[in-house]
Amino acid sequence: MARVTALFVTTLLLCLDSFVFGDPAIAGDFELVGRNATAADFVFTGLRNVPSAGPGLGFTAVPVNFRSMPILRGQGISYTYYKYAPCGQNPPHLHPRAAELLYVIKGNLTVGLVDSSENLYVNDLKAGDVAVFPRGLVHWQQNLSKEETIAILAFTDSNPGVVAVNRALFSSKVNVPDYVLQTAFGLSKGDVGKIKASTPLGAPLGKCINECGGCY
Ligand SMILES: *[C@@H]1O[C@H](CO)[C@@H](O)[C@H](O)[C@H]1NC(C)=O
Ligand SMILES: *[C@@H]1O[C@H](CO)[C@@H](O)[C@H](O)[C@H]1NC(C)=O
Ligand SMILES: CC(=O)N[C@H]1CO[C@H](CO)[C@@H](O)[C@@H]1O
């Protein structure tokens, strides 16, 4: 449990971490910094008992990337395991360094993406379905059901990175100048202030919007 929590925090830190780079070229089969590999380096056991999302959290996410599993560095692959609460949303975001392939293990999930020609693609997934989000495109997932959804997301980089659109633009921590947002969105200064005040700074990345009042 402590480990899972630590990993969850790691993901959140990674989300805020804009100065990390994608998969480096490595010289050998694999690479660990400063030590030789043991068998345990090739295994990650942190997905055995992932807790469900707690109250107020839209989901639990456990990354299996170069940070939680250092031997992945340079291998061009990683996972994030998700448990979405009922109504839980992974808000619109993009991965600068990776395409994503999502597989629904349990429950239902509505997923959407917008391409660079501003076309919208939305799909209702059921357990067993797979959806792709091409690299760098804005996308989101939401569990519109009243039951938990579980999915595994694969990435084409051991360090896909995350840019959450809401936080990048409206977080008071980032503090994009109001005039930029007023012009871009046609908002009054007061409205910009309201949106900044209600935009999460970090965790939770997703939130049950209305306890399923607006869900099926
Ligand atoms: C790794 O193993 C090699 C022998 O295979 C050894 O020469 C080297 O010192 C080891 N490196 C570390 C950091 O333990
Ligand atoms: C998923 O959706 C189907 C109908 O499309 C429904 O029968 C099923 O109960 C749903 N499952 C969950 C976990 O919400
Ligand atoms: C995307 C999807 O399948 N959504 C489902 C969410 O759950 C409700 C109720 O279980 C279904 O009616 C939706 O179809």
149 CA closest ligand 2 atom index: 13
* Distance in angstroms (rounded) separating the CA atoms of residues 23 and 158: 6
Q: Is the CB of 110 under 6 A from ligand 2?
A: no
E strand residue ranges, the chain: 59-64, 78-84, 89-94, 100-106, 108-114, 120-126, 130-133, 138-142, 149-155, 163-164
Q: What is the pLDDT along the chain (216 residues), one digit of tens a residue?
A: 444 444 444 444 444 443 456 788 898 999 998 899 999 999 999 999 999 987 667 889 999 999 999 999 999 999 999 999 888 888 899 999 999 999 999 999 999 999 999 999 999 999 999 999 999 999 999 888 888 999 999 999 999 999 999 999 999 989 999 999 999 999 999 999 999 998 887 755 555 555 555 444
End-to-end CA distance of the chain: 32
Residue 203 has a pLDDT of 59
Coil/strand/helix, residue 70: helix
Q: Which residues contact 26 (CB under 8 A, 6 or more apart)?
A: 73, 74
Q: Looking at the CA of 37, which ligand is closest?
A: 1
Residue 1 has a pLDDT of 43
118 is in an annotated binding site: no
31 is in an annotated binding site: no
Residue 145 has a pLDDT of 81
147 CA closest ligand 2 atom index: 13
Q: What's the gap in Å between 24 CA and the centre of ligand 1?
A: 22
Which mutation among 35, 36, 38, 41 tests ligand 1's pocket best, with the greatest number of atoms within 8 A of CB? 36
Residue 205 has a pLDDT of 54
Residue 18 has a pLDDT of 39
Sketch the domain layout of the chain as residue ranges.
2-25+44-164
Residue 87 has a pLDDT of 80
* Distance in angstroms (rounded) separating the CA atoms of residues 94 and 137: 6
Q: Looking at the CA of 32, which ligand is closest?
A: 1
Residue 2 has a pLDDT of 47
Q: What's the gap in Å between 33 CA and the centre of ligand 1?
A: 12
Superfamily of domain 2-25+44-164: Jelly Rolls (2.60.120.10)
Would the pTM count as exceeding 0.85? no
